[in-house]
Each structure stands twice: as structure tokens, then as C-alpha cells.
Amino acid sequence: MTDKTVKTTPSEKKDNKFDLRQIFEGSYNTLLPLLAIFTGLVIGAIVIAGTDATVIEAWKNFFQAPGAAFAAAWTSIATAYGALFGGSLGNPKEILAGIQAYFSTGDSAALLKSIYPISESLVTATPYIFAGLAVAVGFRCGLFNIGAEGQFFMGALGSVFVGYSLKGLPAIIHLPLALLGGIAAGALWGAIPGYLKAKFGAHEVVNTIMMNWIGFRLSDWLLNGPMKAPGYRPVTSAVSEAAELPRFFPDPLRLNWGFILALLVAWLIYWLLFKTTIGFEIRTVGANPDAAKYAGVNIVRNFVLAMVISGGLAGLSGASQVLGVDHWVGQGFSAGYGFDAIAIALLGKSHPLGVVLAALLFGVLRGGATRMQSMAGIPVDIISIIQGLVIIFVAAPGIIRWLYRIHPAKNKQALQSRG
Amino acid sequence: MMKTKKNPEMDMRTRIIWGAVLIAVGLLVLFLFAFSTEAGQMTKFGLNLSKGDAFVVPDLLLPTQPTNYLLALILVGVGAFQMARGVKSTGTLVAVLAFSFVMAFLVWAARDKSFSLVGMLSSSVVRATPIALAALCGVISERAGVTNIGIEGTMLFAAQVSVIVGTISGNLWVALLAAILTGGLVASLHAFLVIKFKVDQIISGTAVNILGAGVTSFVSSRFLEKNIDALNNSGTLPSISIPLLSKIPVIGPVLFENTPIVYLTIILVAVLHIVLFYTPWGLRTRAVGEHPKAADTLGVNVYLMRYVNVIFGGMFAGLGGAYFTIGSVGRFDEVMTAGKGFIGLAAMIFGKWTPIGAYTSSLIFGFADSLQVKLQILKVGIPPEFLLMAPYIVTMIVLTGVVGKAVAPAADGAPYEK
């Protein structure tokens, strides 16, 4: 069955006259990621129920009480996903009540409490937007930047260093400086594999991963030595207040200007990639380096440039997390943002708008995962499983098409990175 | 990016640069190691692993300062010769450079102390094993034209399955088999995605890695942590010493007193070498990786060859995964492979996609890894974090291809369309 759909690809190249199927294709392109996410969540649900001791017990008696078996599975899944989405989006009733209370009495406490989960999800989405853009820019140049994790870490260290070492500067100077510190550190960490790729053809996938490990070890040393704050714990000092990204609401809510900055940067990257010569060259190199070379595009420069931009964005991701949320850096600072970013870039088809949407989704998933762990006892790693599945489904549209019996007019390859 | 033309004679500039590098390193040895030691100091290299050996060889006793002077002299001398005349093979230069520098460093670091050279070589062989298996997985897959960067994830799956099977069944050989089968199974997922659905091979490998880390961590925190004795405590495979051979001084304890996985790896290297270069199967595999269309025209089933090779490769990786649990510590920790799968890929490239080359370069990585551990014990004053970086930095240097350029199979990473 699947052969048919895959093999029709080359034979349909001549299909360029207008017909109705092209209209369907447009919706198909947005349908595919949605179906991929949906399928990932369904399989995630099966994993949750399948590893639940009470569910397994109930299914052992399936032939005596089939209803109870399904009920147990349903309860398990509903508890887990209920906690997941409750923890990330909040309770609509409470939000409505909060709004009513605010308008009738002017008391904002209930409203702020009810939107706390959404605020946390947006806070989690913020570094995802930057990191997803980082991987996406790499993809557009045909480079696979798996080093976003290390660049994130270095960016965090760079910005925290500028943040705590300088004193007495006004916020309008200190904050941009701290952000720049993060960008510079991340860009440096990205530039090295980019240069090695451009100059020696060294595989950027392996090199960016090596840079991750080197970064982790370096940060271990920095946090235990030169950058260690007085005291026993291996953490840095907190950044001075002038370097913090201001928050919108009073304390438990951590939503800050980093989110707005992320949206602005997403727009900036869109403009850079699609409206400037630099972006055009980067995309040409990514689409066909040989053709680009014959057209006079400097491959070496574009590889390095793309990795510098990519690393800088990942560094900014770390900076936004430090300056907006944590204000200091400790060991194990990154919760895998750089690796999640790969899934985000793929899901968003390496388009800034797609990346923002995918980052919001992952913000919701990750934001609620901790609550799911505490309430339903499901390890947060379930999100990684869902993520891996989503990557597979997005990259292999054939599977989704086969599952849902979709026959599109044209089979567009989701995304190509060169090995 | 890739230099296609290859010079048999080194050009002038490269010659001068290599010579300068050698002389610079020689001077470095002189200033860092020779000048910082005192005249009377001695370095003792232990050559016996245990006291009970049949033949006890005397330990190697070296005067620290003269040895370092000698090594610096060798480096500068070879460097000067290189500048003036030029040595044909880059390999020789690298060997002289690496050997002299590492030796000088060790002699300096172990001054006034005793340092078990045999112990370090032995642990190099052991530490090289998972890297070598990952590299072999890479060799066999890429020779057939399929890039597999999912080795890391494959090894994690296999490591976890083997420890669980081993703990429940109580039989470590069954656990070893389970690890190998798991590796094959995970690789068949990768093969299915990239051959059937023509998914980008790097993306598919990444998905395998993310799933590997995700699923094993999930299982670990949902089941293993609560039931350590029932699920996550398998014990380790016994160390087998080969009669007679293990009694040879120096070589015996290094090579012939190991766990079965180490022996299996060495056997696999030999077998794979013969299969790849001296059998019809190997010829077909290489044809499929170099020019699938031509192979197809001659009646070779490209898809079948790719499936089988990738799955066999996965089995090697599965064996490598078993090393981490039942081969060394007897329990599973989250993300315990720590990048070894990727280092294996670097070893594969450095070994020019040949089994023997891959094994040799794995030994270098194993050496770098065990050196780092030994130096922490010697307390040389370098922060341990920097020593821990060594294998990763070596990998990056290797990948630049400064040390001998390697060319990948021509159709590596490209899907085949009939």
C-alpha cells in the first residue's frame, strides 16, 4: 500500500497544470504536522496506559470484565493528559471567574492565579522559539546543528557573566550587553564546527555534539571554579537587577519581555532569510551547494555565517532563560532545550512562523509535564518519546498518509538536510 | 570543501608547516616538561598487572629529565629534517609527534611516582571496545550507503534491555543475546524509515537518538528506580583469561584477560575485514554503497543489501550497548553512553571506513579516555574537567582530516530510487 504512494512521486513531476488537487495540497501541508502531533500524542497515551500497573492488572482480567479494562486505561490516560494540559493551560472556569472578579471588584489576585499555568507555558516556550530558530537557520543552509544544547549553555554562561560582573550600569545599557554576551558565546560555539565544516568538510553533526560535551565539561569547571559564587553550591552569582529582562506581572508569574523579544527575533529571522541577499545565499547553499558555488556564492563564508547566526540564536536562548527566568546558572542548567529544538525546527518546517507555533506547542507540553509527573507519576521523559515520534512522522509523511489514507496530489519531501 | 586531488608529494607549504609544528611541540616539551623537573628524579612505569604472574618483568625505570630532553630532541630533530627534506608519509609524522608528546607528558606527570603502564594499556583496550563496536556498525552501514547516526540511541536501548533481561533471567549470555537482537531491531526501524520511506538519514538517526534517550529514561524512572534488585542489578560478564597467552608479559594482561565482549569485538573486526574485502557479499555491499545503480543493473538487490547490512550493524551497536551494562557495571544509568556512539563515528572516519582502521583508531580514543582517568589519579594539577574533554577534542581534530584525508563511500547517505 505504502509503495504506491511513495513511488508515484517521480512520475507526477509533470503534474503542473492547475487542478483541484493543488488546493487540497495546501491544506494537506498544514494537516500533516497536526496529524503527526496527534498520532504522537495517541502513541504517548498508549505508552502511559501500557506502563501503568493498575491498567495492566485490569487488562489481565479482560475477558471477565472488558469494560473495567477500558475504564482503567481511560482513567490512566485522562489523569495524565488532564494533568499535562491542566498544568500548562490552566482551568478555563477559574480563568473566567478570575476575569469576572477583576471586573466586578478590581481584585486581580484570582485572575493572576488562574493564568499562572499559561504564563509558565509561555515562559517555557520562550527559549524554545530562539533555539528552534537556531536549528531552523542551520537547516536552511543544509547544516544540522545538534549543538544547540551546548550553545544554549555557553550563551547562558556568557550572559550571566556580563550580568553579574558589571555593576552600576543603567538597564538600558546593561541588559543589551548581557544579551550580547550570550549571543557572542553561543555564536563562538557554533562558529567552530561551522568553520571546520567549511574548511575541512568535517561532519558538523559529530562536531556539534563534541562541542556539546566540551561545553558541558567547561561549564562544570567554570561553575566549580572561576564563576562560582561564594558558598558551597556550584552556582554563579545572580545577575544585577539592571540586566534582568523585566517581568509583566507580580512575582509568581515569570512571563517577561523575553517572550516579546523572541517573537521580534522570529520576525527578524524571517526577514533575513526571505527578504535579504544574505538569506537568499544561505538558502541557495542549503538547497544545492554545487549550484550555489557555480553561481559564485562563497560556500565557506555562508557555512560559517549560518552557524554563527544559529549559534548566536541558541546563545540568545540561554540568555533569555538566565536574564528572564532564573537570574543565575547552576549545573544541569539546560533541560534539553537544544535537543527539543531539533523537533521544533522540523515540525515548523524551518519557517520562523512554523517554529513559533511548534515552540508554543512544546512550551505547553513541557510546561505541563512537570505537573503530570507530580500528579500522575508519569516521568517527563514521555515528552521526549512523543517528540521522537513526531520527528519520524513529520519526516516520513508516507506513514501518516498510510495511517489516515490520505492521497495528496504531490508528495513534497518534508525537509532535507544534507548529511 | 573536500579536496579531490591528492598530492603524492607534499607541497612546500604543508611541509614547512608540519616541520614547524614538530619543532614547536619539541620546544614545548623542553620548556613545559624537561625544565620543570630536577636532575635526580625518576619515573617508574609498572609493567605487571598483578603480582601473581608467572613471569614478572622488571618495571621500567626512567630518569625523568634526560628522557624528556631526549624526546624533545627527537621532536626537534624530526621537525628540522621535515623542513629540510620532507618525510613522505604524514602518518609517520603524526606517530612521532603523538608518541613523543604523550610519552614526555607521562614521564613528566609520573615523576617520583609509580605509574602502571600495563594497567593503562589494558583499560585503553577495554574502553576502546564500545567505541570500536559503534565504529564497526558505522562501517558496515555506510559501506552499504546508509549513514547511521542513531548508534548512540541504539546502544542505549540495547544497554537497558540487556540489564533487564540479565536481571530477570539471571543468565548474562541470554542478556547478551537480547542486547544484540535489540540492536538489530532498532537498526531495522532506521533501515525501514530511510530505505522504505526515504526519510533523510540524519533526521531518522536523530529520531532514533531522541527515542533512545527518551524511552530508556522513561523506563528507568518508571520501573528501574523502584525495583533495583528485581530489574536493574544483573552483575557483569566474567573476565576470561586465555590459557598460556595471558601469561605473556605486558601483552598478556592487556589483551588476553578480558570480558567476552572484548574478544568478540576483536574477532568481529577480523571477520568483517574478510567479509567486506574477500567475499562476494562484501563486494556487493561496497558496490551498493559506491554506485547503487550499477549494482542494480548487475542484478544486486540494492534494498536487500542495505537492509541486511544496516541490521547487522545495529547488532554490533547492540553488543556495544551491552558493554555499558553487563560488560562493565551491571546496572543501567540514564544516558550512560555519554557520546560514545558519536566518537565511534569519528573512529570510523579516521579509520577510513575499514574495520581494521576503525579498530585502531578506536584504540587511540580508548587511550585518550583511559589517560584522562589515570591523570586524575596522578593529580597533575590540570582540572579534571579539562582532561575529560580530551576524547572529544581528539575527535574534532581527527575529523578535520589534517591527519590523512578519508573519502566516504560515494553513495553514502543518499537514498536509492529505482
For testing contact with chain A, the best of B1, B4, B303 (most A CBs within 10 A)? B1
- Beta carbons of B200 and A217 less than 8 Å apart: no
Contact A310, A177 (CB under 8 A): no
Q: Where are the alpha helices (DSSP H) in A90-203?
A: 92-105, 109-114, 116-140, 148-165, 171-200
- Residue A200: closest C-alpha in chain B: B400
- Beta carbons of B388 and A387 less than 8 Å apart: no
Instruction: Summarize pLDDT for A320-338 with one digit per residue, the tens.
Output: 999 999 888 887 777 778 8
Nearest to A391 among B206, B221, B396 (CB): B206
B389 at A interface, C-beta within 8 A: yes
Is a pLDDT exceeding 70 seen at residue B55?
Answer: no
Q: What is the dihedral of CA A285, A286, A289, A295, to 10 degrees?
A: -30
Give one word for A120, left, alpha or beta, with left for phi > 0 and alpha for psi -120 to 50. alpha
| pLDDT confidence of residue A281 | 92
Rounded Cα–Cα distance for residues B393 and B188 (Å): 32
Q: Which residue has the higher pLDDT, A319 or B49?
A: A319
Residues in B touching A220 (Cβ below 8 Å) = 385
Contact B409, B143 (CB under 8 A): yes
B207 at A interface, C-beta within 8 A: yes
B203 at A interface, C-beta within 8 A: yes
Percentage above 70 pLDDT, chain A:
89
Q: Which residue has the higher pLDDT, B122 or B253?
A: B122
| pLDDT confidence of residue B374 | 78
Rounded Cα–Cα distance for residues B153 and B132 (Å): 16
Contact residues, B window 92-121, toward A, CB-based 8 Å cutoff: none
Q: Give B279's DSSP letter.
A: S
Contact A30, A349 (CB under 8 A): no
Instruction: Summarize pLDDT for A135-171 with one digit per residue, the tens.
Output: 999 999 988 888 899 999 999 999 999 999 888 888 8
Rounded Cα–Cα distance for residues A321 and A244 (Å): 10
Q: Mean pLDDT, to the nearest integer, of A194-198?
A: 89
Q: What is the dihedral of CA B312, B313, B315, B321, to 10 degrees?
A: 180
Query: Closest Cα of chain B to A200: distance in Å?
Result: 5
CB-count exposure of residue A131 (10 Å: 0-12, 13-18, 19+) = buried
| Residues 6+ away with beta carbon under 8 Å from A14 | none
Q: Which three cell numbers stand for residue A62?
A: 479482560
For testing contact with chain A, the best of B2, B152, B202, B382 (most A CBs within 10 A)? B202
| pLDDT confidence of residue A418 | 43
| pLDDT confidence of residue B277 | 94
| pLDDT confidence of residue B71 | 85
| Residues 6+ away with beta carbon under 8 Å from A196 | A202, A204, A207, B396, B399, B400
| Residues 6+ away with beta carbon under 8 Å from A244 | A163, A175, A323, A324, A327
Rounded Cα–Cα distance for residues B127 and B365 (Å): 8
- Beta carbons of A419 and B385 less than 8 Å apart: no
Rounded Cα–Cα distance for residues A417 and A310 (Å): 15
Q: Which three cell numbers stand for residue B69?
A: 630532553
Q: Which residue has the higher pLDDT, B99 or B171?
A: B171
Rounded Cα–Cα distance for residues A207 and B125 (Å): 24
Rounded Cα–Cα distance for residues A147 and A306 (Å): 13
Residues in A touching B389 (Cβ below 8 Å) = 213-214, 217-218
From residue B356, alpha-carbon distances to A51, B132, B256, B318, B360 in Å are 43, 10, 19, 20, 6
Question: Which pLDDT band, with edges at 50, 70 and 90, does A13 fall under?
Answer: very low
Q: Give B44's DSSP letter.
A: E
Q: Which pTM does this prediction carry? A: 0.83
Residues in A touching B346 (Cβ below 8 Å) = 206, 210
- Beta carbons of B221 and A342 less than 8 Å apart: no
| pLDDT confidence of residue A391 | 87
- Beta carbons of A385 and B215 less than 8 Å apart: yes
In whole numbers, what is the pLDDT of chain A averaged over residues?
84
B41 at A interface, C-beta within 8 A: no
Question: Which pLDDT band, with edges at 50, 70 and 90, does B280 fall under?
Answer: very high
- Beta carbons of A210 and B198 less than 8 Å apart: no
Nearest to B2 among A201, A225, A399 (CB): A201
Query: Closest Cα of chain B to A302: distance in Å?
Result: 12
Instruction: Summarize pLDDT for A199-235 with one digit per residue, the tens.
Output: 888 888 888 988 988 998 899 899 888 888 888 888 8
Q: Where are the alpha helices (DSSP H) in A107-147?
A: 109-114, 116-140
Rounded Cα–Cα distance for residues B392 and B346 (Å): 10
Contact B297, B288 (CB under 8 A): no
DSSP for B53-121, written as a single string: -SSPPPPEEEEHHHHHHHHHHHHHHHHHHHHHT--S-HHHHHHHHHHHHHHHHHHHHTBTSEEEHHHHH
- Beta carbons of B218 and A379 less than 8 Å apart: yes
Instruction: Summarize pLDDT for B7-33 with one digit per residue, the tens.
Output: 445 567 777 887 888 888 888 888 777
| pLDDT confidence of residue A184 | 96
- Beta carbons of A205 and B149 less than 8 Å apart: yes
- Beta carbons of B197 and A10 less than 8 Å apart: no
DSSP for A223-261, written as a single string: HHTTTPPSSSSSBPPPPPGGGSPPBSSSTT---BHHHHH
Query: Closest Cα of chain B to A253: distance in Å?
Result: 30
Question: φ, ψ for residue B305 (rounded to 5)?
Answer: -60, -40
Q: Which of A285-289, B363-367, B407-411 has the lowest mean pLDDT?
A: B407-411
Rounded Cα–Cα distance for residues B120 and B124 (Å): 6
Q: Mean pLDDT, to the nearest integer, of A60-87?
A: 84
Starting from the edge strand earliest in sequence, which strands make up the sheet with B60-63, in order?
Answer: B60-63, B42-46, B114-116
Rounded Cα–Cα distance for residues A361 and A60 (Å): 36
Nearest by Cα to B305 from B146, B91, B106: B146
Cβ-count burial B111-125 (b if 16+ within 10 Å, e if not): beeebbbbbbbbbbb
Rounded Cα–Cα distance for residues B180 and B313 (Å): 10
- Residue A10: closest C-alpha in chain B: B417
Residues in B touching A384 (Cβ below 8 Å) = 210-211, 213-215, 217-218
Cβ-count burial B262-280 (b if 16+ within 10 Å, e if not): bebbeebbeebbebbeeee
Q: Where are the beta strands (DSSP E) in B117-165?
A: none
| pLDDT confidence of residue A243 | 86
Query: Closest Cα of chain B to A82: distance in Å?
Result: 19
Question: Which pLDDT band, with edges at 50, 70 and 90, does A17 fall under?
Answer: very low
Contact B108, B320 (CB under 8 A): no
- Residue B218: closest C-alpha in chain A: A381
Question: Which pLDDT band, with edges at 50, 70 and 90, does B404 fall under?
Answer: low
In whole numbers, what is the pLDDT of chain B averaged over residues?
84
Q: State the ipTM, two decimals.
A: 0.80
- Beta carbons of B217 and A206 less than 8 Å apart: no
Rounded Cα–Cα distance for residues A183 and A155 (Å): 6
Contact B306, B144 (CB under 8 A): yes
Percentage above 90 pLDDT, chain A:
32
Rounded Cα–Cα distance for residues A355 and A341 (Å): 9
Is a pLDDT exceeding 60 seen at residue B381?
Answer: yes
| Residues 6+ away with beta carbon under 8 Å from A98 | A110, A111, A112, A113, A114, A115
- Half-sphere exposure of residue A81, counting CA atoms within 13 Å on the CB side? 18
Q: Mean pLDDT, to the nearest integer, of B346-370?
A: 87
| Max mean pLDDT range (A138-142, A376-380, B80-84, B180-184) | B180-184
Rounded Cα–Cα distance for residues B138 and B132 (Å): 10
Q: Mean pLDDT, to the nearest integer, of A253-277?
A: 94
Nearest to B399 among A203, A346, A395 (CB): A203
| B60-63/B42-46 β-pairing | antiparallel
Query: Closest Cα of chain B to A98: distance in Å?
Result: 37
Contact A204, A193 (CB under 8 A): yes
Q: Which residues pair with B44 in a beta bridge?
A: B61, B114
